[in-house]
Amino acid sequence: MDDLTELPGVGPSTAEKLREAGYTDFMKIATASIKELTEVEGISEKAAAKIIEAAKKMCELGFKKGTDILEQRKYIWHLSTGSKNLDSILGGGFESQSITEFAGAFGSGKTQIAHQACVNLQCPERIIADDNIKDDLLNEPKAVYIDTEGTFRPERILQMAEAIGIDGKKVLENTFVARAYNSDMQMLYAENVENLINEGHNIKLIIVDSLTSTFRTEFTGMGKLAERQQKLARHMATLNKLADIYNCIVIVTNQVAARPDAFFGPAEQAIGGNIVGHAATFRLFLKKAKGDKRIAKLYDSPHLPDAEATFRITEKGIHD
């Protein structure tokens, strides 16, 4: 967590007020407006302008060459979903430095995929990476699971781990779980992932299950929509920053809502609108098929074509 007292005119008291308002690092302050910052008690417009300008310098924002980005992408790694069909449409599995969103109705398999990812992280055969970074990935990789709906089940982790022949207790030992009862808790847990990393934990997987349920409950009606979207944007920015800086995989599940005006295209849409749409790197819809089969449709990706995959969810977990 950044030391906000390094900013001009920000003492310990003002720093605490900024953190309480959600401005926990220089990046959040640098991208805030003067009006937003003056809503924090004790900060005038003149002070807000100075603080924002200083935060921008602290962030060292600037352009990179395309070759620098190409070099950065050499460190990307993938984690198998457990299904070769699903891995195929994702370009090899869950991708690091990215957010992968699974949206779908109740029972479509979102939480099952999240559980399976925690298990697969502890299975070296399911981590796909170049030799130059594989040692780091295999050094006690750990997952963070932010549970907003009370759906995390350690028993299911044990069952899935046993199915692929690994120690379920080890998976649970290397999975940090936090139950979020409201959007503020959810956002704070995401921000605190950096603290775990600074404590020496090799966090390589972050899961939010589900992304929008707390926001949807708290911010009802059109009058609250702007405030909801603003908070959701900050939350997604935090997740993107963690994925990018620490080469993590981020998986979010999402609820869906009916589209009564949909004459063409899908009858359902993911919650969160353009905020989630622009922040998520890979977006998939899940739906139930016959028996234990599920269909995943990739409909948004920066470099992969739209595609569908069929997989199964059984006692053994996610597989073809």
Residue 261 has pLDDT above 60, yes or no: no
* pLDDT tens digits, one per residue of 121-136: 999 999 999 988 988 8
* Cross-strand bridge partners of residue 269: 257
What is the per-residue pLDDT across 284-295, written as a single tens digit (0 to 9) for each? Answer: 999 999 999 999
Q: Strand, helix or coil at 156?
A: helix
**Residue 204 banded pLDDT, cuts 50, 70, 90:** very high
246, pLDDT greater than 90: yes
What contacts 148, CB < 8 A, 6 or more positions away?
179, 180, 186, 208, 209, 210, 211, 213, 214
Predicted local confidence at residue 219, as pLDDT = 83
**Which of the residue ranges 148-152, 220-224, 228-232, 239-243 would you say has the lowest mean pLDDT?**
220-224
The tens digit of pLDDT for each residue in 12-65 reads 999 999 988 888 888 889 878 898 899 999 999 999 999 999 998 888 667 778
Is pLDDT of 258 > 80? no
Q: What angle do CA 264, 266, 271 make, to 5 degrees?
A: 130
CATH topology of domain 4-59: DNA polymerase; domain 1 (1.10.150)
Helix (H) / strand (E) containing 243: helix 225-246
> What would the mean pLDDT of 144-165 be, rounded to a whole number?
98
Alpha carbon distances (Å) from 6 to 28, 107, 138, 266, 309: 15, 48, 36, 50, 50
250/261 Cα distance (integer angstroms): 32
CATH class of 66-319: alpha beta
Q: Does the pLDDT value for residue 259 go beyond 70?
A: no
Cα R_g (the chain), whole angstroms: 20
Specify the pTM: 0.82
Residue 249 has phi, psi (to 5 degrees) of -95, 130
Residues 6+ apart with CB under 8 A from 104: 110, 256, 285, 286, 287
Residue 267 pLDDT: 58
Question: Which residues of the chain does CATH 1.10.150.20 include?
Answer: 4-59
Tell me the average pLDDT of the chain: 91
For residue 132, what pLDDT is reported? 85
More confident residue, 120 or 237: 120
- Do 203 and 143 touch, CB atoms closer than 8 A? yes
Q: Which of 58-62, 72-76, 78-82 holds the top average pLDDT?
A: 78-82
What is the spatial distance between Cα 216 and Cα 258, in angstroms, rounded to a whole number?
14
Contacts of 242 (CB under 8 A, 6+ apart): 190, 193, 194, 206, 248, 250
pLDDT in tens, 262-302: 445 555 788 777 888 888 999 999 999 999 999 999 999 99
In the chain, residues under CATH classification 3.40.50.300 are: 66-319
Strand order of the β-sheet with 282-288 is: 175-179, 141-147, 202-209, 249-254, 98-104, 282-288, 293-300, 307-314, 317-319
Comparing 33-47, 166-180, 217-231, 306-320, which segment has the lowest mean pLDDT? 217-231
pLDDT of 2: 81
